[in-house]
Amino acid sequence: MNINWYPGHMKKTKEAIKKSLSLVDIVYEIVDSRIPISSQNPDIDGIIGDKPRIKILNKSDLADEKSNIEWIEYFKKVGIPAVLVDSINNKGLDDLINLSYILTEGKRKRLELKGIKNKPIRAMIVGIPNVGKSTLINSLSKRKGAKVGNRPGVTKSNQWIKVKGNIELLDTPGILWPKFEDKNVALNLAFTGAIKDELLDIENLTIKLVEKLNTISEDYIQKRYKVSIEDKSPYEIIVEIGKKRGCIISGGEVDFSKACNIILDEFRKGVMGRITLELPH
Ligand code: G4P
């Protein structure tokens, strides 16, 4: 990841987020729809406490539609309100706003009894790197108006962005860490591009990705690359794909590394189709 997490840093981050939490009515916790568990912070419940929270399943455009619905049902069952969002195409934003209203109704009613009407709902975004925090802030703010609180004397961390539906968003998201120590979590993060490629062994990673995709569905690789996966190891499948794509080095050998880069890149961009890597069950 682009941030080195160590215990002192985690403690500081937690404290900073807890401070910001006191300023908001609701928290938007963003995860990646393709890996909703791997892309969440392991301590999120403790950090947010009993503040109203919405789990935003972002990048829903890249995840399998049926699995998206399964995840929403799952979170509903465990009592966590969740919405599907595609921050690139501004999808799901109205659902997010409507749900924000539902979850803050009690507080708004109490304020109304005190004569305070139409007070904006204040929200902040939290999530691990690469889940789409900045993209969501941009897509929400594009919908309406400029920043508020953007004047001298207001610290940068306390600027509020006015968004549709009388909601104000804290302009600085809380950046959290994932559960690195779990091997599957680390792999899922690497597959989806959340860990910088320079830190990874791309060839091994692609072998693991091909293996994983084939266990989820036999179709993904076969359909995209028109290769048979039957009785072939992931390595052999990648070589096959390399040949088909003309990844050949001098001497006629397959450029394995190039083939791996193509596969990883196409998976991450959704070219292979909409694929969810982990399911509630
Ligand atoms: P962050 O602030 O949480 O770190 O994430 P950021 O908004 O920077 O988004 C990370 C990458 O994910 C970006 O890709 C962004 O365009 C993409 N992204 C964010 N939301 C969505 C979404 O709803 N759907 C899709 N398909 N993509 C989304 P990038 O610019 O290519 O960055 P990178 O992959 O080169 O790091």
120, 249: one domain:
no
Q: Do residues 188 and 277 make contact, with C-beta atoms less than 8 angstroms apart?
A: yes
91 CA to centre of ligand 1 in angstroms? 15
Of the residues 135, 198, 265, 269, which should be mutated to test ligand 1's pocket, given the most ligand atoms within 8 Å of the CB?
135
- Of ligand 1's atoms, which has the minimum distance to the CA of residue 270? 26
CATH code of the domain covering residue 263: 1.10.1580.10
Question: What are residue 31's DSSP bridge partners?
Answer: 57
146, 218: one domain:
no
Atom 22 (ligand 1) nearest CA: 59
Predicted confidence pLDDT, tens digits, the chain (281 residues): 545 788 888 899 999 999 999 999 999 999 999 999 999 999 999 999 999 999 999 999 999 999 999 999 999 999 999 999 999 999 999 999 999 999 999 998 999 999 998 899 999 999 999 999 999 999 998 744 444 444 444 445 568 999 988 999 998 899 999 998 899 999 999 999 998 888 789 999 999 999 999 999 999 999 999 999 999 999 999 999 999 999 999 899 999 999 999 999 999 999 999 999 999 98
- Of ligand 1's atoms, which has the minimum distance to the CA of residue 175? 3
Of 151, 171, 191, which marks where a domain is finished?
171
192 CA to centre of ligand 1 in angstroms? 10
pTM, entire model: 0.92
Which residues span the domain enclosing 21?
A: 8-171
In a domain, 112, yes or no: yes
In a domain, 153, yes or no: yes
Measured CA to CA, the distance from residue 255 to residue 62 in angstroms comes to 28
107, 244: one domain:
no
Of 155, 171, 187, which marks where a domain is finished?
171
136 CA to centre of ligand 1 in angstroms? 9
Instruction: Kindly give the pairing relationship between strand 121-127 and strand 167-170.
Output: parallel
3-state secondary structure (DSSP) of residue 87: coil
In a domain, 156, yes or no: yes
